[in-house]
Amino acid sequence: MFTGIVTDQGEVLALRQEGDLRARIGTHYDVSRIDIGASISCEGVCLTVVDLGQSPRNWFDVQISAETVSKTNLPSWKVGTILNLERALKVGDELGGHIVSGHVDGVAEVVALQAEGDSLRVTFRAPDALAKFIAPKGSIALNGTSLTVNEVNGADFGINFIPHTRAVTTWGQVAVGDLVNLEVDTMARYVARLREWD
């Protein structure tokens, strides 16, 4: 489990296909404090650490299944891609965002950008099957970042990014046409499922 509060920006150092896709990710995390088998959210995708090291910089390796690649924006990753990173939630940690599983539901597209004071309003288009789970003032995770939905118009929804969020995450480089990993709020998913039984 994660909170959607990004704690590092990592960099894709290498990608290679060896059955599953294997990615090497550079990090500022102290890798001596990361265990093999640990879960790290990488751009909102919960991935398992399979190797790590410190030369010439701190890095960890993850293996990514074809299923995960097919459901996420992973096909756009290349060497040099910057990723939002978050270590798994520990008991007693502050829950500053919302409960995020790292199980991406689908991919949304950035369709518009508009400056609003010091903030940036970004409009996204969700897959139709996921739009029903997105509500004004509800929580959503995009590229691993816990965010509050401002407004919803059909499959389109808006998020307001304050300068701090853009400075400490990959949202500082957002552009129209970007594909982003979307995870709907777990509570919204269960409420929708319960309504099917009414």
pLDDT for res 98:
80
pLDDT for res 92:
65
Report the candidate in 184, 10, 179, 1 with the shortest Cα–Cα distance to residue 84: 10
164, 166, 168, 169: CA torsion to nearest 10:
150
Fold of 106-195: Elongation Factor Tu (Ef-tu); domain 3 (2.40.30)
pLDDT for res 55:
82
In this prediction, residue 150 has a pLDDT band, given cuts at 50, 70 and 90, of very high
Q: 47-51, 157-161, 194-198: which range is least confident on average?
A: 194-198
In this prediction, residues 100-126 reach a mean pLDDT of 96
Domain 8-87 falls under CATH 2.40.30.20: yes
Under 8 Å between Cβ of 98 and 187:
no
User: Which is it for the CA torsion 93, 97, 100, 104, positive or negative?
Assistant: negative
Q: 24-38, 88-102, 112-126, 156-170: which range is least confident on average?
A: 88-102
Per-residue pLDDT tens over the stretch 164-190: 999 999 999 999 999 999 999 877 666
Percent of the chain with pLDDT strictly greater than 70: 93
Domain ranges of the chain: 8-87, 106-195
Count of helices and strands (H, E) across the chain: 4, 12
Q: Is the fold of 8-87 the same as that of 106-195?
A: yes
pLDDT at 78 over 90: yes
